[in-house]
């Protein structure tokens, strides 16, 4: 069975000037990159960037094209630049639930941490039984609570995220940190073991390794990660090197 990307490639062959097909293919490429499923991430990002440029040139008010540009910029970790693109997409459709989380993530990493939770809460109101994204929204809310040293609230939301998507290693790592900061060291250690089991690489082997592969935002946000998230993981048993 052809993949979604294969079908979009075929659509673009049939109509090379279709802004919709260009935008959808760019989105598919970025989904593949940001989920870690691409073996050619740099090439996929470069191609998506070209497709988005063509789509916006043909249809400058297209919410879909602006969303695709936001996805490209987010994949490039250009969070501040991505924010107006997601906002343009949402302005074109106030119920565009899938744009709220990436906007919230960009707000967080760009330094506007106080704007993140309201966006995730809006997504939950719009799609309270979302089968794919509900856990992602819960986890983002929990992460913000963790970074702002509201540890009990962080645990509540990360536990909800774990129920919704038990296979996500980052949720278990977040819980490991939060439990440890709350003095629950045995539970923290168990969550760290689970994060290591589920992840597809060695990022949870040490603080130094995790710091090198992750994205921690602008300096003031990185500072919050250091005194909360990383401090908790140390208490959970993650070595420095």
- The tens digit of pLDDT for each residue in 99-143 reads 999 999 999 999 999 999 999 999 999 999 999 999 999 999 999
Tokens, residue 12: 């673009």
Same domain, 89 and 144: no
- Residue range 34-51: average pLDDT? 94
According to the model, what pLDDT value does residue 180 have? 98
Same domain, 207 and 163: yes
Average predicted confidence (pLDDT) for the chain:
96
Tokens, residue 39: 């073996």
| Span between the terminal Cα atoms of the chain, in Å | 45
Its domain, for residue 4, covers 1-94
- Report yes or no on 142 lying in a domain: yes
Same domain, 77 and 164: no
Cβ–Cβ under 8 Å, residues 233 and 177: yes
According to the model, what pLDDT value does residue 11 have? 83
| 73/107 Cα distance (integer angstroms) | 13
Q: What is the pTM of this model?
A: 0.94
- Report yes or no on 107 lying in a domain: no
- Report yes or no on 102 lying in a domain: no
According to the model, what pLDDT value does residue 239 have? 98
| 143/239 Cα distance (integer angstroms) | 21
Is 11 strand, coil or helix? helix
Same domain, 83 and 117: no
According to the model, what pLDDT value does residue 6 have? 80
Q: Structural domain tally of the chain?
A: 2
Is 93 strand, coil or helix? coil
**Quick one: DSSP state of residue 229?**
I
């Amino acid at each position: 069975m052809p993949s979604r990307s294969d079908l979009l490639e075929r659509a673009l062959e049939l109509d090379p000037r279709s802004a919709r097909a260009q935008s959808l293919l760019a989105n598919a490429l970025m989904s593949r990159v940001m989920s870690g499923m691409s073996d050619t991430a740099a090439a996929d990002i470069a191609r998506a960037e070209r497709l988005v440029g063509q789509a916006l040139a043909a249809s400058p008010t297209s919410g879909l094209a602006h969303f695709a540009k936001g996805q490209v910029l987010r994949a490039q970790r250009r969070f501040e630049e991505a924010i107006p693109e997601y906002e343009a997409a949402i302005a074109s459709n106030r119920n565009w639930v899938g744009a709220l989380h990436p906007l919230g993530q960009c707000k967080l990493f760009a330094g506007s941490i106080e704007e993140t939770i309201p966006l995730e809460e809006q997504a939950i109101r719009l799609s309270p039984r979302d089968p794919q994204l509900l856990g992602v929204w819960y986890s983002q809310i929990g992460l913000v609570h963790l970074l702002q040293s509201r540890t009990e609230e962080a645990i509540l939301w990360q536990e909800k995220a774990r129920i919704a998507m038990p296979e996500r290693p980052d949720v278990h790592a977040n819980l490991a940190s939060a439990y440890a900061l709350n003095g629950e060291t045995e539970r923290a250690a168990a969550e760290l073991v689970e994060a290591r089991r589920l992840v597809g690489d060695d990022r949870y082997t040490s603080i130094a390794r995790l710091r090198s592969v992750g994205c921690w935002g602008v300096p003031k946000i990185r500072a919050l990660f250091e005194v909360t998230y990383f401090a908790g993981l140390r208490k959970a048993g993650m070595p420095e090197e």
